[in-house]
Amino acid sequence: MSDQIVTGKFPSARMRRARRFGWSRELSAETRLSVSDLIWPIFIHDQPGDLDVESMPNVQRVSINTLLGLAEQAQSLGIPAIALFPSAEESLKDEKGSEAVNPENLVCRAVQAVKERFPDLGVICDVALDPYTSHGQDGVLVDGYVANDETIEMLVQQAQAQAQAGCDVVAPSDMMDGRVGVIRKTLDDAGLIDTQIMSYAAKYNSAFYGPFRDAVGSAPSKVSRSGGKGTYQMNPANSDEAIREVSMDIEEGADSVIVKPGLPYLDILQRVKDTFGVPTYVYQVSGEYAMLHAAAEKGWLDLEAVMMESLLGMKRAGADGIWTYFAKDVASALRDS
């Protein structure tokens, strides 16, 4: 075989030529990760100090005062947007998640504070009831079942309160049928036509969400395909269903869509982007973040290398942007590279 190669019996094309040097690898790179691809999820609470999230290394629940410092870091690093997730006081939780619609709640006050100081930084708000419900479900329970339309009535009020507080993008993560269309009409009728809707259009009933629920302090809710969150979040076995979900949300007025989780669902991400061509985002969820950290702490993986590789894979699959708890670390690494 070596004689045949040397004597030119094979074509002269060699794929390794472009891999020989760093500069040529850069020139031939098909996919690039940049700071402008990043959305930084941040957990907030109504306490004066900050609290470590034990299951998510280097992640904290922060006060509004600390949040302003993180927002300043995001802006200085070039991260285009942050996303806020509240950890509500237990005393504020009830069966309906009533605190979600309070225009003076933690999220609304945090949005106002950030936009006043950093008007050019994008702020995204989660539209869902689970941080505020005593039962930990994403909606209103009727006879033990998360009722679709009753939940939408609350979500609409929540989205409007967030938008009026100055939120740039509302992101419904509840997976109720028809909620995007009702939220869009309500925002438009209220004169909030510039508020974007980034819909969690393909959100799966995943076991990778565990650390997130610790971070927001939501009541325990077991992942189940026969009940609970499995009655509204998608079955991990399904792909065609995701296309139907995304199609419905776009038709109802979503400006962009999210696939969640990330690495286990890159096939879904690619299908969505290839099918619709709309701005498509992916969420590298808490469990993905935690397991990379855990493996690195054991010395089994190089954290920075797998951090960058995992996000690059999401970009290669079609993501226009990535929600990741690594956002600040990635931005710093890209700046210093």
Cα 330 to Cα 80: distance, rounded to the nearest angstrom: 13
Which of 260, 273, 315, 328 is the catalytic position?
260
Residue type, 29: A
Residue type, 65: N
Which of 93, 115, 203, 315 is the catalytic position?
203
Element (H, E) at 85: strand 81-87
Angle between helices 148-165 and 106-117 (to 10 degrees): 30
* Cross-strand bridge partners of residue 40: 82
Using alpha carbons, list the distances in angstroms from residue 335 to 73, 75, 95, 293, 303: 13, 13, 46, 22, 17
For the question of residue 96 being annotated catalytic, the response is no
Q: In b/e form, how buried is each residue of 160-173, taking b as 16+ CB within 10 angstroms?
A: bbbbbbbbbbbbbb
Residue closest to 125 by CA, chosen among 179, 163, 90, 68? 163
For the question of residue 260 being annotated catalytic, the response is yes
Residue closest to 92 by CA, chosen among 108, 109, 105, 83? 105
Using alpha carbons, list the distances in angstroms from residue 100 to 43, 125, 212, 221: 15, 11, 18, 19
Q: Which residues are catalytic?
A: 203, 260
